[in-house]
Amino acid sequence: MKCAARSELGKGPNGKCQVSGAKGQVAVARPVSANAKMKRLWEISVRTTPEAEEAVTELLESLFSQTASSYTNLETGKVIASVFLSTKPRHFRASLLGGLARIKQCRLDPGVADFSVKRVQPRNWAESWKRHFKPIEISSALLIQPSWSKRRPQKRQAVVILDPGLSFGTGQHPTTVFCLQQLVNCRDRGRQQSFLDVGSGSGILAIAAAKLGYKPVEALDSDPEAVRIARGNARRNRVFNQVRIRSADLTTLPTRGAPKHDLVCANLTSDLLLAERQRIVSRLKPEGGLVLAGILKAEFPRLVRAYRSAGLKLVKSQAEKGWQSAAFLRR
């Protein structure tokens, strides 16, 4: 799912939670640079709930102009969202607390939503990534792993190398895992299949699709920075010439005359999935598959009704950590 530098959480005209575009007024520290692993860093963390994870992550990104990360404690169910900065941030407490209050007004319960600021040693910084970003295996067909992993793939198992840090998604989130599973399950080696990823983020799904043999593979994202990172990840995985990753806004795409695909994945917010249903479905071939993710469990029934009314059949759904994802078939 794409990440963007955004600023103020509030309610839009339809009463739904949204983020406005102006930059915040917080005096922020400089973002983490490429050689940040050699320096001591400042970690700002917020403990929250799975329901409010995305909103809290976006709030941190907007306040500190830095991509945030999050992970879930499987025992407690609590989510920790964090940003890492190269200098100590100042004058941010009021803005952070105000943003958390606005999240609650949008009926997303952030829980206690307490936050902490602490200094992180270089060794702790490097090792923290290695603790939280483990290889992900999708049956015997696909392996997603960071560059430092020594895990050996199975015979004929496609491998995607993706490191955390400034990447927009590394496959750790349950919604991304569901999308990867559907990529594997829908692949028919006996025929050529095309794939489209709407909201490409790091490019993980497009890269995995190319490795699995989908052709042609197309991905789009409205954030130019996400597109730049996705293209870099495609080069690193040696599939740059096999995927087309471009900057495009889903809300302005034409509904007629667009290329149609055997499989489409849209890992976006529920509001966007509902508002742009026609544009998403118009890119599906007859009998094509559609994977939708990024959906809060409370919003899932409404989304299923909307896509059923558009002529799609729900064939699989999965709920985990407050999120629910779905696979549809166009009838």
Cα separation, 23 vs 64, whole angstroms? 10
pLDDT in the model for residue 201:
84
pLDDT in the model for residue 5:
27
Helix (H, G, I), strand (E, B) or coil at 278: helix
Give me the percent of the chain exceeding a pLDDT of 70.
78
pLDDT in the model for residue 130:
66
Supply the DSSP symbol for 60.
Answer: H
pLDDT in the model for residue 93:
87
**Contact status, residue 264 vs residue 288, Cβ threshold 8 Å:** yes
Single-letter amino acid, residue 266:
A
Give me the percent of the chain exceeding a pLDDT of 90.
40
Length of the chain: 331
From start to end of 6-135, where are the E strands?
9-11, 17-19, 41-48, 69-72, 79-85, 115-120
Closest CA to 42 of 82, 5, 79: 82
Q: Which residue has the higher pLDDT, 304 or 68?
A: 304
In this prediction, residues 99-115 reach a mean pLDDT of: 73
Cα separation, 39 vs 44, whole angstroms? 16
Cα separation, 234 vs 202, whole angstroms? 9
Helix (H, G, I), strand (E, B) or coil at 296: strand
Could you tell me the pLDDT band of residue 91, with boundaries at 50, 70 and 90? confident
Model's pTM, two decimal places?
0.69
* CA distances for 162 relative to 77, 250, 306, angstroms: 26, 25, 34
- Summarised one tens digit per residue, pLDDT across range 115-141 is 889 987 765 555 666 666 778 899 899
Domain 173-330 in the same topology as domain 9-129: no
In this prediction, residues 224-248 reach a mean pLDDT of: 93
180-288-248-317 Cα dihedral, nearest 10 degrees: -40
Could you tell me the pLDDT band of residue 261, with boundaries at 50, 70 and 90? very high
* CA distances for 105 relative to 11, 36, 254, 297, angstroms: 9, 36, 35, 18
Return the minimum-mean-pLDDT range out of 104-108, 132-136, 161-165. 104-108
Cα separation, 323 vs 219, whole angstroms? 23
What CATH code is assigned to 173-330?
A: 3.40.50.150
Cα separation, 313 vs 311, whole angstroms? 7
Q: Does pLDDT of 318 surpass 90?
A: yes
Domain boundaries, the chain: 9-129, 173-330
Cα separation, 234 vs 238, whole angstroms? 6
Cα separation, 232 vs 249, whole angstroms? 20
pLDDT in the model for residue 327:
97
Average pLDDT, the chain: 80
User: Which class would CATH give 9-129?
Assistant: alpha beta
Angle formed by the axes of helices 204-212 and 224-236, nearest 10° = 30
Could you tell me the pLDDT band of residue 224, with boundaries at 50, 70 and 90? confident
Sign of CA dihedral 190, 316, 300, 204: negative
In this prediction, residues 178-182 reach a mean pLDDT of: 94
